[in-house]
């Protein structure tokens, strides 16, 4: 089992959005994710989620795992989930996962718990 967490100051995300506009969103969210995250708190939560997932996988955001290798989506009850791109799935054989996102008091936080398949690379 692997755990990753990230906390983000919402005002930092808001400043980047004010400064760069849609270009900032295009840097880490695909079009569907942008449609789901219309409030600044949600955008910050998605940022924190992708960072937390990369930390749980032990690689961070970089050459091995990009922001676009991680797709955040919500189920019918509005609970957050994620899936990895086919390339990232091959590198990180995730058996099961759980994602939680919350925001309050000017912060957004995400926690992810992963169970990796036995065939996955050791972290």
Closest-CA residue to 109 (of 54, 51, 55): 51
Work out the burial of residue 48: count CB atoms within 10 Å of its CB; fewer than 13 is exposed, 13-18 middle, 19 or more buried. buried
Here the tokens at position 109 are 């936080």
- Residue 14, H or E segment: helix 10-20
- Tell me which residues are annotated as active site: 55, 103
């Amino acid at each position: 089992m692997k755990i990753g967490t990230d906390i983000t100051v919402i005002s930092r995300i808001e400043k980047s959005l004010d400064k760069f506009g849609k270009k900032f969103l295009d840097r880490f969210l695909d079009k569907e994710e942008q449609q789901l995250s219309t409030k600044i708190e949600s955008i910050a939560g998605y940022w924190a989620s992708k960072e937390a997932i990369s930390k749980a996988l032990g690689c961070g955001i970089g050459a091995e795992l990009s922001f676009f290798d991680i797709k955040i989506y919500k189920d019918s009850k509005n609970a957050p989930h994620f899936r990895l791109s086919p390339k990232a799935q091959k590198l990180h054989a995730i058996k099961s996962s759980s994602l939680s996102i919350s925001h309050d008091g000017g912060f957004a936080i995400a926690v992810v718990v992963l169970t990796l398949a036995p065939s996955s690379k050791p972290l």
